[in-house]
A = this chain, B = another copy of it.
Amino acid sequence: MDAEIIGVGSELLLGQISNTDAQYISQKLSQLGINVFYHTVVGDNKNRLKEALEIASRRADLIFTTGGLGPTMDDLTKETIADFLGLNMFLHEESIEAIKGYFAKRGRTMSQNNNKQACFPEGAKIMPNNHGTAPGAIVENKGKVFIILPGPPGELQPMFEDYVIPYLERKSKEQITSRVLKVYGMGESVMEEKIKDLIINQSNPTIAPLAGSSELTIRITAKTARGEDPYKLIQPLEEKVRQRLGDLVYGVDDDTLESVVLRLLVESKKTIATAESCTGGLIAKRITSIPGASQAFIEGVVSYSNQSKIERLGVSEATLAKYGAVSPETAEEMVRGILETTGADLGAAVTGIAGPGGGTANKPVGLVYIGIGDKEGHFTVNSYNFLGGRKKVQEMAASMALDSIRRRLLTLET
């Protein structure tokens, strides 16, 4: 069963919002084994929407529309679908009551134009909207299925979970399951060289590398009959990839460097503290964005000024004077300082030049020193030259620091 998703709304074509509905629906459909071959976005324009519907019904069996269900005149998705299919519109009484109820709950009364939201093409199955005023609908017509959904993600997603998925599961026989391997520390083309033969010889499961901003992912996707265990197909290929890439594979699926670091810390019952200069708190922020961070994260110091490096972390004025704030010596004293002042098991320190200003010939923008230390007294400081704007340098430095923490934790564990 092939699907196409049509996003309706001029705000999408003006770039006021991104088409996250298409992303959400696509994710869900791929899990259901339904192919999505096209996304289309059109504005609030009857003729262009009609043309999009014509094109979509030529190339897909299952056509989703998102948006254009509001009470205003420029909301015309349902009317246009009815027109396209040659159907009349009818007023759905239960929906009127539901909309009235929605307003009543909020101490407001329904305005006349909300009546429009209760009108649907003949023969439509109505999907109640428990998070807004616009109900959705499913219209089966001449072998095609039109699934009409509201635009706001907060309304679309629960409706999709509660009504669309059960409807689709009854229709589809096979399922697609993906396993994503998260890779950090190598370039895309280098990685592809290492798994080239696996990519060339792929069938089922398929294997697809994808380059992100500062990390890579490899998606292994298996097509199986519903009920069959997809991991029987996925596991052997995953093993091969892991043999090629070793511990460059830091996690799977929704893992992030910070979630893996926190998991390793909690598993090994170790605590961590961070001392950040050029990353300005980004490392602490990323670790503490993970639920349960308080089990392992004691403290972060964003020692942006020299004064702070001296007073909070005990970096010696001599070191700062002789080597400067951006130096391996300062990075090491920052780690030692954060370990001593917090008593954490593990410490990480970052000092560098994020730019755009502050670079010199010997210390260019992007030069970053990352220090990792532990209670047992092992200290390492590495230097990096990250290229890109300020935010990119900060992000790459934070990711590298998190990966360095991960690697230290792996060695501590063995």
Q: Which residues of A contact B (CB under 8 A)?
A: 7, 10-20, 22-30, 36-43, 45, 48, 51-52, 55, 59, 70-74, 105-106, 108, 111, 113-114, 131, 152, 154, 178, 187-190, 192-193, 199-200, 208-211, 213, 217, 219, 274, 276, 279-285, 287-289, 291-294, 297-305, 307-308, 311-312, 341-343, 355-358, 387-388, 390-392, 394
Contact = CB atoms under 8 A, between A and B. Distances in A.
Contacts of A308: 298-299, 342
In this complex, the member of A73, A193, A280, A391 whose beta carbon has the largest number of chain B beta carbons within 10 angstroms is A280
A258 to B, nearest CB: 11
Contacts of A342: 307-308
A131 B343 CA distance: 41
Stoichiometry, copies per complex? 2
Given A15-B24, A38-B48, A279-B285, 13 more contacts: A10-B208, A18-B19, A18-B23, A38-B41, A38-B52, A111-B189, A154-B213, A276-B281, A289-B391, A299-B305, A299-B312, A300-B302, A301-B312
A17 B10 contact: no
30 contacts: A12-B23, A12-B26, A13-B30, A13-B37, A15-B27, A15-B28, A16-B208, A37-B42, A38-B42, A40-B41, A71-B192, A72-B189, A105-B387, A106-B387, A113-B189, A113-B192, A114-B189, A154-B392, A276-B281, A280-B285, A280-B289, A281-B282, A284-B285, A284-B302, A291-B356, A291-B357, A291-B390, A292-B357, A294-B305, A294-B358
A19 B16 contact: no
A281 B305 contact: no
A337 to B, nearest CB: 12
Nearest to A187: B108
A346 to B, nearest CB: 14
Contact of A280 (B37, B40, B131, B284): B284
A341 B305 CA distance: 13
A289 B18 contact: no
Contacts of A41: 22, 38-40
A77 to B, nearest CB: 15
